[in-house]
Amino acid sequence: MADPKRKVIIDQIIDQNKDLPGNTMVVLNELQSQIGFISEPMQHYVATRFHIPVSVIHGVVTFYSFFTTTPRGRHTVKFCLGTACYVGGIPQLIEKAKQLLSIEPGQTTPDGAITIELCRCVGACSQAPVLMVDDEIIGHVRPNKLPQIFKPLQEEAKETA
Ligand code: FES
């Protein structure tokens, strides 16, 4: 692994949790929380330390949307793909977001301000179509409202850059 500081953190996490039941899941959760992502080299390293195929680690990381393989942006905007939101216009919102930010779902803007993701029903179907900006649900969103939602998030990133 290229970053020696990161390797120390990963070794600590593995050593602290290696004897627990479900240890690989615990370790991956800790890596995501403490480092913010689980890159391919990190997945290889964890697999080597646990003497298991990297495909097992990779399978877990790609199955759960909580895990990411690259750093997330300062803010995460999730687009609900549940039925009510889908019918209510989420596909158009996703297209507009892709245009406005020049990124695809799962990617982060180059300024590190916003990551866009897709998610399952968040339980606010009566407000469809729904976005989640970090932990806040925003309902009845129309494509022309997206610039107003993104702008403060991008401005904040500029101010703290
Ligand atoms: S379908 Fe989107 S909140 Fe339920």
Q: Residue 92 is part of a domain; what is its CATH number? A: 3.40.30.10
Q: Which segments of 23-122 are extended strands (E)?
A: 75-80, 114-119
Residues 155 and 83 in one domain: yes
- Integer Cα distance of 104 and 117 in angstroms: 8
Question: Mean pLDDT across the stretch 47-68?
Answer: 91
Residues 156 and 82 in one domain: yes
Sequence ranges of the binding site for [2Fe-2S] cluster: 80, 85, 121, 125
Residues 47 and 12 in one domain: yes
Mutate to test the pocket of ligand 1, among 119, 125, 137 (most ligand atoms within 8 A of CB): 125
Phi-psi region of 131 (alpha: psi -120 to 50; beta: other; left: phi over 0): beta
Residue nearest to atom 1 of ligand 1 (CA): 82
Q: Is residue 120 part of a domain?
A: yes
Residues 91 and 155 in one domain: yes
Residues 133 and 155 in one domain: yes
Pick from 33-37, 41-45, 46-50, 122-126: least confident: 33-37
Structural domain range at position 125: 75-160
What rounded mean pLDDT belongs to the chain?
92
- In the predicted structure, residue 161 carries a pLDDT above the cut 70: no
pLDDT in tens, 111-141: 999 999 999 999 999 999 999 999 999 999 9
Residues 88 and 133 in one domain: yes
Question: Mean pLDDT across the stretch 54-71?
Answer: 89
Atom from ligand 1 closest to the CA of residue 129: 2
Q: Is residue 69 part of a domain?
A: no
- The total of structural domains in the chain comes to 2
Nearest of 5, 3, 1, 54 to residue 28 by alpha carbon: 54
Query: To the nearest 5 percent, what fractions of the chain are helix, strand and coil?
Result: 55, 10, 35
